[in-house]
Amino acid sequence: MRRSLLVLTFALGCTDAGLYDAKRPPIEANRVAVTGTVCTEDPELAKFPVRVVVVADQAAGALYGDYDAAGLRLRGLTNLINSALQKEEYALSVVGYGATATKLAPEEGFFGRNPGELLNAVNRLSIPQPCGEQGYCRDYGEGLRVAGNLIEDDMAQISAGERGLTQYVIVLVNAGPHQPMADARECCARGDAACRNRDPQPSASCQGDRDAARVAQIRDSVLDGGGGGFEMHIVHLAAEEDGAVNESVAQGHERMAFVGGGRYQRVENVNTLDFKALRVFDRQNSLRAKHFIVSNRNAAVYQGSMYPDSDGDGLPDVVERDNGTDPLLWDTDGDNVGDLVEILTSVDPLSPDVFDQCADLETPGRDSDRDGLANCEESLLGTDPSMADTDGDGLPDGMELASGTDYLNRDGVVDDDGDGVSNGDEVREHTDPRMTDLPARLGSAYRYTMEDLGLVSEATIDGPDQITGVRVLHVSNGSTAGVGILDFAPGDGGSPGTLKWKDAADGEHGALVELPAERSGVVEVRSSSYEAVQGESARYVRLEIQPTLLPPRPLSEPVRVVKRQRHCIKYIVRNIRLLETLTETNELMLYFAESPTRAQEAPGPFRIAQLPIRFIPPALREPSGAMLTVLDEEFVHYPRRESN
Domain of 267, CATH number, reads 3.40.50.410
146 and 252 within one domain: yes
Instruction: Judge whether 114 lies within some domain.
Output: yes
Least trusted range by pLDDT, from 11-20, 570-579, 582-591, 614-623: 11-20
Instruction: Judge whether 63 lies within some domain.
Output: yes
Instruction: Judge whether 614 lies within some domain.
Output: yes
Residue 608 has pLDDT above 90, yes or no: yes
Residue 641 has pLDDT above 70, yes or no: no
pLDDT digits (tens, 9 = 90+) for 285-328: 678 999 999 999 999 988 778 899 999 999 999 999 999 999 99
Instruction: Judge whether 460 lies within some domain.
Output: no
Residue 468 has pLDDT above 50, yes or no: yes
294 and 278 within one domain: no
Burial label, 553 (beta-carbon count in 10 A; 0-12, 13-18, 19+): exposed
Pairing outcome for strands 264-267 and 229-237: parallel
pLDDT digits (tens, 9 = 90+) for 408-428: 999 888 888 888 889 999 999
pLDDT digits (tens, 9 = 90+) for 255-275: 999 999 999 999 999 999 988
Write down the pLDDT at residue 285.
61
257 and 207 within one domain: yes
Residue 81 has pLDDT above 50, yes or no: yes
pLDDT digits (tens, 9 = 90+) for 163-209: 988 999 999 999 999 999 888 888 888 888 888 888 888 889 899 99
Query: Where does a domain end: 284, 319, 350?
Result: 284
DSSP 466-494: SSTTEEEEEE-TTSPSEEEEEEEEE--TT
268 and 140 within one domain: yes
Distance of CA 303 to the CA centre of its chain: 36
Instruction: Judge whether 616 lies within some domain.
Output: yes
231 and 339 within one domain: no
156 and 126 within one domain: yes
Question: What backbone torsions phi and psi does residue 544 show, to the nearest 5 degrees?
Answer: -100, 130
Query: Where does a domain end: 284, 304, 335?
Result: 284
Instruction: Judge whether 458 lies within some domain.
Output: no
Distances 505 to 516, 530, 605, 606 between C-alpha atoms, Å: 28, 12, 36, 36
pLDDT digits (tens, 9 = 90+) for 332-358: 999 999 999 999 999 999 999 999 999
Residue 470 has pLDDT above 90, yes or no: yes
Write down the pLDDT at residue 499.
95
Query: Where does a domain end: 228, 249, 284?
Result: 284
407 and 442 within one domain: yes
239 and 222 within one domain: yes
438 and 308 within one domain: yes
Domain count, the chain: 3
406 and 326 within one domain: yes
Instruction: Judge whether 571 lies within some domain.
Output: yes
Order of all β-strands in the sheet with 470-475? 470-475, 540-545, 521-526
Write down the pLDDT at residue 284.
67
406 and 371 within one domain: yes
574 and 519 within one domain: no
Write down the pLDDT at residue 638.
81
Query: The domain containing residue 379 runs over which residues?
Result: 26-42+290-453+567-638
Distances 310 to 300, 348, 580 between C-alpha atoms, Å: 9, 21, 9
pTM of the model: 0.78
Instruction: Judge whether 562 lies within some domain.
Output: no
Residue 644 has pLDDT above 60, yes or no: no
